[in-house]
Amino acid sequence: MGLVTTDRWRLVLGRYADQRLPAPTDAQGLRREEALDYLYGREYAGRGSREDRGDDGRDEGDGSGPGAGGLGPSAPRVVDWLGQVRDLFPTETVEVVERHALDRYGLTELVSDPEVLARMEPSQELLATLLTLKGRLDPRVLGEVRRIVRTVVDDLRRRLESEVRRSLTGRLHQHRHSPVPLSTAFDPRGTVRANLRHWDADRQQLVVSQPRFFERNTRRIPWEVVLLVDQSGSMVDSVVHAAVTAGILSGLPAYRVRLVAFDTSVVDLTDLADDPVELLMTVQLGGGTDIAQAVRYAEQVVEQPHRAVVVLVSDFCEGGPPSVLLAAVRRLVEAGTTTIGLAALDGSAHPFHDRQMAAALADVGMEVAALTPGRLAEWLAEVTAR
């Protein structure tokens, strides 16, 4: 985390740190303390701590201490809190905090009570939380979880599909014309040439009786697209984006899409690439990261290297030897396969990744960028038009 020693001690001591230690050295430090106190401050509830009692000596806890009630109407607050924890701490710490929240402090309604989930508004933040906790979900809530997944996925797909399809289903063909009046494809020069005989000398105006429009070129682009999606714990938002993008690409006959999820193992989920809901219900977030193994798998499944694109969606935090990963990427590039590394995107489409590894990947020939699904589609269109 890059914390100085004082900040680390403040996190250990919690609310009692103010008595002995200076304030946090940055704004992030204060947010970390508040995030941990939301959970671990429950230790003080009901223990006779002076600051936990009112003037009449009664407990003023929030009802969430040991033996107290569960989340109830505060469930949305817990979703926000879990999102903050994922943003503020490394994956290993997040896993520990989430485990304590569920096993030690009884914040279980999100994973065990379908009525709580039924009352919550579907959102990408809620979806990310449920995917992160998916291994702990009670079978009774799976129906509500699936409903939330479908609602969020359908909303994302509606917002992305037209943009992606517009980029990928063909460019304007500059030598053929279409009778269909596409305003974005109007050909002014061709229109003038086709209507010169209609020049009105008296009014000094060109009478346009035959407007000309460029015809869209919808030629088939026989390229393989292999999506390698990192499903380690820090990648939840990017996994959602990748699942929706794969679903859209799978609906375009000009592409053959293969979707592969990986952490320390590799799982080919191509059969689910056209169904983002089932795909997200299948992936298991968490664990380490072996990017090299996924890239080697891509080497094996690519059939025509010169007509293939391998898209690596990752934070580039390689768990294995970097040299093995770099060698695998170099082989793909030398074989003629186009490769791109997409930096992980959070829920707000902000990139986060290991910049040193990204630079090393770029040195061996992989393009590295932080692209939204729409921009990825534009990039694919450029590649397949070369």
pLDDT tens, residue by residue, 233-282: 667 888 888 899 899 888 877 789 999 999 889 999 999 999 999 999 98
Largest separation between any pair of C-alpha atoms in the chain: 98
pLDDT at 67: 38
Q: So what's the pLDDT on residue 106?
A: 67
Q: 374-381 — which CB contacts under 8 Å span 24+ positions?
A: 374/160, 374/163, 374/164, 374/167, 376/245, 376/311, 376/342, 377/163, 377/164, 377/165, 377/167, 377/168, 377/245, 378/167, 379/340, 380/167, 380/168, 380/225, 380/309, 381/167, 381/168, 381/171
**175 — pLDDT class (breaks 50, 70, 90):** very low
- pLDDT-based confidence at residue 296 (cuts at 50, 70, 90): very high
Residue 201 has pLDDT above 80, yes or no: no
pLDDT above 50 for 364 = yes
305 pLDDT higher than 90: yes
Which residue has 């503020």 as its token pair?
88
| pLDDT at 74 (0 to 100) | 57
pLDDT at 332: 96
Write the pLDDT tens digit of every residue in 82-131.
778 777 777 777 778 877 777 776 677 778 888 888 888 888 888 888 88
Residue 35 structure tokens: 């995030």
The average confidence (pLDDT) of the chain is 76
Task: Work out the percent of the chain whose per-residue pLDDT is above 90.
Answer: 27
Q: Look at residue 61 and give its three-state secondary structure.
A: coil
pLDDT value at residue 64? 41
Reported as a pLDDT band with limits 50, 70 and 90, residue 290 is very high
The pLDDT of residue 183 is above 50: no
* C-alpha span between 127 and 156 (Å, rounded): 12
Q: What is the mean pLDDT of residues 335-345?
A: 87
Per-residue confidence (pLDDT) for residue 43, from 0 to 100: 63
Asked whether the beta carbons of 333 and 368 are under 8 A apart, the reply is no
Q: Which of 39-43, 50-54, 137-141, 362-366 has the lowest mean pLDDT?
A: 50-54
Mean pLDDT value across residues 191-201? 74
| Domain residue ranges of the chain, discontinuous segments joined by + | 5-121, 172-216, 223-384
Q: Among the listed ranges 64-78, 130-144, 150-164, which one has the minimum average pLDDT value? A: 64-78
Under DSSP, the state recorded for 174 is E
Q: With residue 109 as reference, give the H or E element that holds it.
A: helix 109-112
Between 175 and 366, the more confident residue is: 366
Q: For residue 174, is pLDDT > 50? A: no
Per-residue pLDDT at 26: 66
Task: Indicate the pTM of the whole model.
Answer: 0.67
- pLDDT given at position 231: 86
Identify the pLDDT of residue 205.
Answer: 81
Q: Which one has a higher pLDDT value, 59 or 318?
A: 318
Pick the CATH number of 223-384 from 3.30.70.1140, 1.25.10.10, 3.40.50.410, 3.40.50.300: 3.40.50.410
Q: Tell me: the pLDDT tens digits for 38-73? A: 777 766 554 444 444 444 443 444 444 433 444 444
Range 289-316 average pLDDT: 94
Between 225 and 134, name the one with better pLDDT: 225
